[in-house]
Amino acid sequence: MRGYFDHNATTPLHPAARAAWLEATDRCWQNPSSLYREAAAVKHRLEEARERLADLLGCDPGRIIFTSGATESNNALVRWLAQQSGPEGRVVSSSMEHPSLAEPLEQEFNGRVLKVPAHADTTLNLEAADRLIQQGNAVLMAVMAANNESGTLNPWRDLAALCRAKQVAYHCDASQWIGKMPLAGLGECDYLTGSAHKFGGPKGTGFLVVRDENERLHLARGGPQEEGRRAGTENYPAIEAMVTALEAVEEALATVVAQQASLRDAFEATLCSLIPGTQIVGREAPRLWNTSLMVLPAHDHRKWLGRLSQAGFAVSTGSACSAGDKGASSVMQAIRAPVEEWRRVLRISGGWKTTQEEWQALAEALGKVSAGL
């Protein structure tokens, strides 16, 4: 492959995470709930991993529940909050949430989800957020930290503060933020979702941070693991690898952010000159340094994707989860982009180590594909 530009769908395993996973799999494979010495050592290391993650996020370790990823965390949380809220409780959310949050919200809070509208530049209308939360019976605000399609950064600190002032719980799906932006303050959100494979950890591993360690929600029943909140043998090697990956990417972040943002910006400038008429969605909004969502001037995005794949470049038509279905990009819908543009969207998402040569080669490949279509 000449260039992997689909890091918002998933990332390769970080070398430090791979080493940690192998070591844990070889030496700490015993069941942490068993009662002999070796198992107790695994349990001890599992709890240490929880504490290291809690330190990174700035929260109490007892608030962290390890899960199979963001989809499980989002689904389980919504189900639990719906049970708690009664038939009148409303949720304030955005129209650009990941389906793993948006779909359970629609199902569990049927007709009681108030959507904060978006501006044309993909940012949220914060005045509307403020208004909606005052409308009464709001039990939850659920707004993601960084958007998976456009990379748009939401002001989650301000939203958390607004919710605190109004005594409404705030949930932040930070799956795309964690590992790409500084973690400071995330632990202050009442509820928080994270997913290891978005930042160099293994797939099928993630976490949910809950408001209070005594909150008695049940993601799965049938065992005492995770304080009885999620039964099932813990995947300690994957958890160890996830925390190791996060420590590694967080440490390198300060240099990565500025460097990569300038490579991505240069790529966008080259592309717009090679293919006149290309629009970069949310270009003026605060964005993740790795993401570029674009509307190309002609042809269905699957055609572009296929040609780029033949040339050795992996890109996406939007969110990986909706790539195969008829539903279009939620960002394009939220900003009310013309329907005929929805099928011309490509999402490019680079990584922590993507080189200038790779970015420029992708721009040139897009230029060549454009000339040949």
Catalytic residues, which ones? 321
Q: Should residue 175 be labelled a site residue for ligand PLP when binding is judged by CB under 6 A? A: yes
Q: Should residue 173 be labelled a site residue for ligand PLP when binding is judged by CB under 6 A? A: yes
- Calpha distance 89→95 (Å, rounded): 19
Tell me the closest approach of the beta carbon of residue 197 to ligand PLP, in angstroms: 6
Q: Should residue 206 be labelled a site residue for ligand PLP when binding is judged by CB under 6 A? A: yes
**The only residue of 100, 225, 292, 349 in contact with ligand PLP, by rule CB under 6 A:** 100
Tell me the closest approach of the beta carbon of residue 101 to ligand PLP, in angstroms: 7
Tell me the closest approach of the beta carbon of residue 303 to ligand PLP, in angstroms: 23
From residue 293, give the alpha-carbon distance in Å to each of 222, 285, 318, 349, 350: 43, 12, 8, 8, 12
**The only residue of 85, 93, 123, 148 in contact with ligand PLP, by rule CB under 6 A:** 148
Binding map of ligand PLP across residues 303-322, x = CB under 6 A, - = no contact: -----------------xx-
- Of 154-162, 171-179, 180-188, 344-352, which part binds ligand PLP (CB under 6 A)? 171-179
Of 300, 298, 290, the C-alpha closest to 268 is 290
Complex with ligand PLP: residue 98 or 180, whichever CB lies closer: 98
- Calpha distance 149→98 (Å, rounded): 9
**The only residue of 7, 43, 50, 98 in contact with ligand PLP, by rule CB under 6 A:** 98
Tell me the closest approach of the beta carbon of residue 239 to ligand PLP, in angstroms: 14
Cβ(176)–Cβ(194) under 8 Å? no
**The only residue of 176, 244, 290, 349 in contact with ligand PLP, by rule CB under 6 A:** 176
What DSSP letter does each residue of 122-169 carry, written as one string? S-B-HHHHHHHHTSS-EEEEE--SB-TTT-BBP-HHHHHHHHHHHT-E
Complex with ligand PLP: residue 97 or 190, whichever CB lies closer: 97
Q: Should residue 69 be labelled a site residue for ligand PLP when binding is judged by CB under 6 A? A: yes
**The only residue of 85, 195, 225, 317 in contact with ligand PLP, by rule CB under 6 A:** 195
Instruction: Show the tokens assigned to 119.
Output: 């501006």
- Calpha distance 71→76 (Å, rounded): 8
Instruction: Show the tokens assigned to 103.
Output: 């779909």
Task: Return the bridge partners of 66, or none.
Answer: 207
Applying CB under 6 A, the site for ligand PLP has a residue count of: 14
- Calpha distance 54→343 (Å, rounded): 41
- Calpha distance 162→49 (Å, rounded): 32
Helices 70-85 and 99-108: crossing angle, nearest 10°?
20
Q: Should residue 244 be labelled a site residue for ligand PLP when binding is judged by CB under 6 A? A: no
Complex with ligand PLP: residue 28 or 124, whichever CB lies closer: 124
DSSP code at position 344? G
Complex with ligand PLP: residue 71 or 244, whichever CB lies closer: 71
- Of 25-33, 64-72, 305-313, 345-353, which part binds ligand PLP (CB under 6 A)? 64-72
Q: Should residue 93 be labelled a site residue for ligand PLP when binding is judged by CB under 6 A? A: no
From residue 158, give the alpha-carbon distance in Å to each of 25, 60, 118, 162, 222: 41, 21, 16, 6, 39
Residues that bind ligand PLP (CB under 6 A): 69-71, 98, 100, 144, 148, 173, 175-176, 195, 206, 320-321
